[in-house]
Amino acid sequence: MLFYTFFILLQLNIIHSYCLTNSLCQLNDDSTILTCNTMLNDTSLLPEISCFPSVNTYIFYNFEQLPSHLFSNINFLQNQFYTIKLINISIINSDTFSNSIQLPENSKLSIIIGDLNISSNILIQSNAFNNINIDYLHFLNLNNTIFDTNCFGHNLNINTLIFEQCNLTSFSNHIRKLTNVNHLVIKNSPELKQLTQENLPSFLPTLTSFELSNTALEIIHPHSFQAWSLILEEFVITNNTNLEIFPSDIVDGVLMKLNKLDLSYNPIKYLHSNYNWFPYSYTKNLLLKNQQLDLFLKSNILKTLPYLENIDLSHGFISENLMKNYFPNMSNLISIDVSYTNLTENMIIDLLTHLSQTTNHFIDIYLRGHILNDENFCSYFKIFQNAPNLLNLILDNSHECNCIVELFYRDKLQDINNNSLLIHPTCLLDSSRNRCDIQTQLTLSKCPTNGHTNSDDTIGDYAFGGVIAGVIVALLLLLSLGFGVVHRIRQRRNTDLTMEKPVENPLAAIIEERLGNV
């Protein structure tokens, strides 16, 4: 027994000595990062990391290959975030990232393959990612034009999969396996010029989010997406500088779970006036930043998406006032952003007027980059009357505290003082400022106030007083009517009937006359 104990201690000492003298892998000072680098050594050497304690970050440089089950003897801890970075690696063998990694359920694993400054022709063998949960898998600067999805094995779950600055043009889909990917992001990919049903990945039906941004995308072919097989909640196609046409038949069916549609910063120049937005009809969040708004409004996009809650039209351009004809009643709307657009103040007034006439709940309206002038005070006062305190105007911090700001913010001053994070013109915090007298401004602007007088500064007090007075008058009328009825009843009950002159019975007179003639 003593011999075996001595033998085990000897082996542990040998392993520990090897770790200390390992020229390929080194721990940082606080033992949170393990870096393995062949440097000038033979690149065919394999890293040995099992003798090191578990760390939060593993970095591998310049290896010819990473062996299977590389992390099998690592004791990963509970409630930790682990990151594995591979830079300038030639081959990733099968099962390198597999169930041999004993990761606790409450810990998360991120894997980053490649580097923005070093292009790579990495070969990823079949089932390199197999039977494992990966929170974040990021491919950087890959020269491979076709990504072979055969490297994804069975029972693989990836929360977020990103391809960045890759020469990706398509996915190979020869073998279909049980692979689940929640979020797919392809960005800064200069070779991706088209989307078709054939070049999209086989795991597309598992996606809840698909993002395509900063690519060379020129065309999306018809019928590329079969809605009945998809569970997409977010469909994001943004910043693609060659995408001038957004076809109306790219989706077959209706994306029933779609929550977000983002087409921002694409140079879209053509949309059919009868564009079919029906596949996106369940959209709640619509983003059309930096777009030619005329195209989208005239295609009746707002009328076709009845569940819209948030609309972002910021940085957009519009050539004519379409707010009256193409802006429908939207009962679910809670936010609209028209910041930094070329909307005139009259267009903004038309928009606010429409919203004030149709809403019965709070709406945030972002108007950064716009100035609301007192010259149009009467229009804003009418808007406020239509929906008192229901329209939350979000202006630049530098906007002056004129009468319009006083009108819309005065009931929020206490909240602003108690919460510095609230968005508001900073001048509202200046208690020494000259405040606008609303009633005086109504007089100066000659606004029709529907019979309101200038006896009070508080808007709406007159209407409330009128209602109270009307109720009192009605009660008095009812009381007087009631007393009149009671008085008449009492008069009738107190009437005495006398028989000094009995009432003659007509029938008795007739009988007496007939008897006299007998």
pLDDT of residue 46: 76
pLDDT of residue 15: 42
Q: Give percent of the chain with pLDDT exceeding 90.
A: 62
- The alpha carbon torsion through 200, 204, 209, 215 (nearest 10 deg) reads -10
pLDDT tens, position by position, 369-378: 999 999 999 9
Average pLDDT over residues 361-376: 96
Average pLDDT taken over every residue of the chain? 84
Average pLDDT over residues 83-88: 96
Which domains occur in the chain, in start order? 25-343 (3.80.10.10), 344-471 (no CATH)
pLDDT of residue 454: 40
The bridge status of strand 57-61 relative to strand 156-164 is: unpaired
Q: Which residue has the tokens 């400022």?
A: 433
Model confidence at 7, pLDDT cuts 50, 70, 90, reads very low
pLDDT of residue 238: 98
Model confidence at 197, pLDDT cuts 50, 70, 90, reads very high
Model confidence at 291, pLDDT cuts 50, 70, 90, reads very high
Q: Which of 463, 465, 436, 468 is nearest to 449 (CA)?
A: 463
Contacts (Cβ under 8 Å, ≥6 apart) of 214: 187, 188, 189, 238, 239, 240, 241
Is the distance from CB of 122 to CB of 114 less than 8 angstroms? Answer: yes
In this predicted model, which residue has the larger pLDDT, 17 or 231? 231
Average pLDDT over residues 182-192: 97
Average pLDDT over residues 117-129: 93
CA 334, CA 379: separation in Å to the nearest integer? 22
Model confidence at 11, pLDDT cuts 50, 70, 90, reads very low
pLDDT tens, position by position, 205-263: 999 999 999 999 999 999 999 999 999 999 999 999 999 999 989 999 999 999 999 99
Contacts (Cβ under 8 Å, ≥6 apart) of 135: 108, 109, 110, 159, 160
pLDDT of residue 509: 55
Model confidence at 48, pLDDT cuts 50, 70, 90, reads confident
Check pLDDT > 80 for residue 478: no
Check pLDDT > 50 for residue 9: no
Q: What is the pTM of this model?
A: 0.81
pLDDT tens, position by position, 153-164: 999 999 999 999
pLDDT of residue 481: 64
Sign of CA dihedral 142, 146, 149, 151: negative
Q: Tell me if residue 165 falls in helix, strand or coil.
A: coil
Distance of CA 108 to the CA centre of its chain: 25
Q: Which residue has the tokens 């070049």?
A: 199
Check pLDDT > 80 for residue 323: no
Check pLDDT > 70 for residue 179: yes
Check pLDDT > 60 for residue 418: no
Model confidence at 494, pLDDT cuts 50, 70, 90, reads low
Average pLDDT over residues 444-457: 62
